[in-house]
Structure 1
């Protein structure tokens, strides 16, 4: 009897103990949740606000548009001195345009006075002025810019004001969903703080050759450009550059240049006054699953070499058309668009290894990287990226397409097999219906309006006939890399895409 009673008591005790522990655990703080959802950013904002600046420019009125010309007076006229004196006084009295607040920036080197912003913030401006968090304003000089990444470096005299610098963090460690802090000068209101999360990474928004943006839902508006994006440790992980917005205001889709990309560009601008990027000298295209399978590659990775530029580093290293670049300087090339950025970040003159896929196996080739800017100055990039000029090239002016016969040079340049017949597209203007439909140089038009075509003139004639009869579109049968598809292309009215001279405002 005693044993039975003792067993029941122990059972009740264990039950109460379990309930007590459950309640205790339920009230314990969940540290992971607290880290993901901080109570606020007040302390962090107070620390970081002095590092962020407002950037504005001012310039003189154009005297040619403001002042009248001197009247045509005969020599020795008594009115000549009068008019000259009048115009001189008017010129001296010309006011400056009120400072126009354009964007944001941040101090990266307090000792030497270096400030970073976007290139588009200060482009075509003069008399750049920096306003700090305590409302002190200093003149700044332009150190250098880079339009490919939209970055610019400015310099102020550090002896005229005590500067507080921000430190760069490692943007590669950012994870989707992490909290970030954005500080800038939206709409010229002054320093403003907004918070959000990393919505996506490695975004390509077609703004340049090295797109690799951080996307965020933090409020970014006009005037935030050039301002910093901070992580929760207070380090700069991005530079706010662009927004996607149908209205011009924030809709929760903003983009920032990753700090790891920006640091290399900024260091070069400070050291040389310009960038010195690496250059490999290849024309590349995407590796599709079909191309990968045809070349014996298990996965569609890397960058397919369409052609190496003549005399360029790749050609000297033995790279051939049809090779797939899998690695560059120890870094894997998962997608075609990653290669230009990785090459650009490599120092000119450095010899690195590239791993290519050729004849169903990997090969390693040493290549000495050249300087991109020198190649641009010498016109080597134009030779690399443009198809061979053809005497028979014909343009569909209204549709913005250039066509050519399938010559042996063009077959080699675009890797078009001998069995494919038709008319090759050699250029597609941006912003046209052809561009929107995905047509690109190297595509071969096999049929137009269900008629086989072998010359550009045949295509032009078909378009002209359909335009006369009032047809609004033409059905094209297009071959790209062995894949055949139909494209319904809009027939444009005459001179739809004729270029006009820009209007001065």
Structure 2
């Protein structure tokens, strides 16, 4: 009978075996951590090489005469004395937004960031950083403070160009190409949030080509780089140390950074810079249409297999679009051979097109794809565009339809106030397809299922020919603006 190993005899081998086993387990984890650490970017060299060309911008705005009365307040001293003491202290105090006490308003100061793009002192920043400023001071990385003059601004893109006075042999950034950016790519910002100069934050590109309601001509870069007040106008770098954007806005519900920030693509920014530097103003291409997004229901009603394109809700009178034959209800699918996936894709495409150049559009009209050529015009000043109007073709008495709404002939005062001359007025909406579609009383219906509506008679005929159990489009004018809604009878 063979003897068994005692614990003492096995102990040495057992410990060695356990140690080897643990080493095999821990080695891959250690290697993985090492590889992971090596894959994270090191921004130190990038920051060291580019900080000198990033600047802090401080502005001073003097109170405008006539804005207030005798004391910098929105009311006189006698009225102020009638307020409770708490309010008197607020309006007279040094932190008052109206400039303090009876001696007059105090100058308003603000700050932001920017960067130098030429050795003779041209600086790019945001328009809202310097808007209305009477004095602009640029502070460099070496703590020099130099006065700067405003070369020009472009509120539509929130861009401003400054020129450092007596600037010579200044450090400059390297300008990259924003069109080469990819979602997920590392980016870095340098700026002065809350006045903390040369703060560096990093993140990734979250999305490209974002459209914001206030800036339709800028396809913003969305990032998760921490941006706060004071970062505005500062540069956004890629890992090659090239500027690919200008940090401009954040989306927030708290007033601070919430993980969503937006930058102006440097390709667009440099185009604006060159025009402001050379001409003092910016010219953009103009089509002359109001557009809206194509959602799933609209795509179904217009015969598209999937939502895409820019739906033309209105064509401006005398615009390049009208001259080229574009109509309300057309869906622009391609512009110069480039797909229009979202309606927000179209304005930047048109805006970048040189004025007077002919552009080709692929358009879906009445279920058929056609091509149109349009000579691009110059974008007019804001508020100068007027909607087109076409003759009225008849009238009739009020009509109630199984759609859940009542319509009547378009009154003369409504025609005048909305600057239109065709359509029917929705006088009442009850439970039914119309209410579900979002139609409201006082809407003006100008088109139903892609048929023009000029009178109540037209409306009745269009309703009678509606397909069953199928989505149909309704074009309405609401508060002076045309939109398309989808109704399912």
- CA-to-aligned-CA distance 1:239-268 (integer Å, 9 cap, x gap): 111123333332332221222232222222
Structure 2 residue matching 1:225: 3-state secondary structure: coil
SS of aligned partner of 1:291: helix
Distance change in 2, residues 1:409/1:183 (3 Å): same
Aligned to 2:284: 277
Q: CA deviation at 1:414?
A: 11
1:209 maps to 216
1:157-204 Cα shifts (integer Å, max 9, x gaps): 3x4453111122222222222211110011112121111222233333
d(CA) in 1 for partners of 2:304, 2:455: 18
**In the alignment, is residue 382 of structure 1 matched against residue 434 of structure 2?**
no
Asked if residue 100 in structure 1 is aligned to residue 109 in structure 2, the reply is yes
Tell me how far 1:30 sits from its aligned partner.
10
TM-score (ref. length: structure 2): 0.67
Distance in 2 separating the partners of 1:41 and 1:211: 28
> In structure 2, how many angstroms separate the alpha carbons of the residues matched to 1:383 and 1:221?
39
* Shift, 1:325, TM fit: 1.2
Aligned counterpart for 1:370 among listed residues 377, 398, 422: 377
Change (3 A) 1:176 1:406: closer
Q: Is the 8 A contact 1:145 1:153 kept in 2?
A: yes
Alignment of 1:78-477 (within 5 A): 100-111=109-120, 113-157=121-165, 159-373=166-380, 376=382, 379=384, 381-383=385-387, 391-393=412-414, 404=442, 406=444, 412=452, 418-419=459-460, 426-427=478-479, 442=483
Q: Distance in 1 between matches of 2:271 and 2:455?
A: 35
RMSD of the alignment, in Å?
4.1
Find the aligned partners of 2:454 and 2:173 in 1 and give their Cα distance.
48
Corresponding residue for residue 437 of structure 1:
none
* 1:27 to partner: Cα distance: 9.0
For 2:443 and 2:43, the matched residues in 1 are separated by 63
Q: 1:37 is matched with which residue: 28, 37, 40?
A: 40
Q: Distance in 2 between matches of 1:101 and 1:50?
A: 22
- Counterparts of 2:445 and 2:194 in 1: how far apart (Å)? 55
Superposed displacement of residue 356, structure 1? 1.5
Q: Greater share of strand residues, 1 or 2?
A: 2
Offset at 1:210? 2.9
1:392 is displaced (CA, Å) by 4.9
Q: CA separation in 2, counterparts of 1:346 and 1:101?
A: 35
For 1:162 and 1:413, locate their aligned partners in 2 and report how far apart those are by CA, in whole Å.
66
Q: Secondary structure at the match of 2:267?
A: helix
Aligned residues: 382
Measure the CA separation in 2 of the matches of 1:125 and 1:364.
48
Give the distance between the partners of 2:38 and 2:350, measured in 1 at CA. 37
Q: Distance in 2 between matches of 1:237 and 1:193?
A: 16
Range that drifts further, 200-209 or 216-225: 200-209
Structure 2 gaps, min length 5: 1-25, 73-102, 393-409, 419-438, 464-473
Write the distance in 2 (CA, Å) between the matches of 1:233 and 1:348. 34
Contact 2:301 2:486 in 1 (8 A): no
Q: Secondary structure at the match of 1:55?
A: strand
**Cα pair distance change 1:44/1:365, threshold 3 Å:** same
Alpha-carbon contact 2:244-2:266 (below 8 Å) kept: yes
Instruction: Indicate if the aligned counterparts of 2:63 and 2:107 stay in contact, CA closer than 8 A.
Output: no
> C-alpha distance in 2, partners of 1:298/1:56?
53
Q: Would you say the 8 A contact 2:316–2:386 is kept in 1? A: no
Shift of 1:25: 10
The alpha-carbon deviation at position 338 of structure 1 amounts to 1.0
Partner secondary structure for residue 404 of structure 1: coil
Structure 2 residue matching 1:209: 3-state secondary structure: strand
Alignment partners' CA distance in 2, 1:334 and 1:181: 29
CA distance in structure 2 between the aligned counterparts of 1:349 and 1:33, rounded to whole angstroms: 53
Compared with structure 1, are the counterparts of its residues 235 and 30 closer, same or farther at alpha carbon in structure 2 (3 Å cutoff)?
Answer: farther
Quote the Cα distance in structure 1 between the aligned partners of 2:454 and 2:233.
Answer: 40
Q: Do the aligned residues in 2 keep the contact of 1:58 with 1:96 (CA within 8 Å)?
A: no
CA distance in 2, matches of 1:306, 1:127: 44
Displacement of 1:59 in angstroms is 4.0
Structure 1 unpaired stretches of 5+: 1-22, 68-93, 396-400, 429-439, 444-479, 485-505
**Deviation, structure 1 residue 407:** 6.5
Tell whether the 8 Å contact from 1:59 to 1:97 is kept in structure 2 after alignment.
Answer: no
Residue 50 (structure 2) aligned to one of 48, 53, 66? 48
Q: Is residue 284–residue 336 contact of structure 1 (8 Å, CA) maintained in 2? A: yes
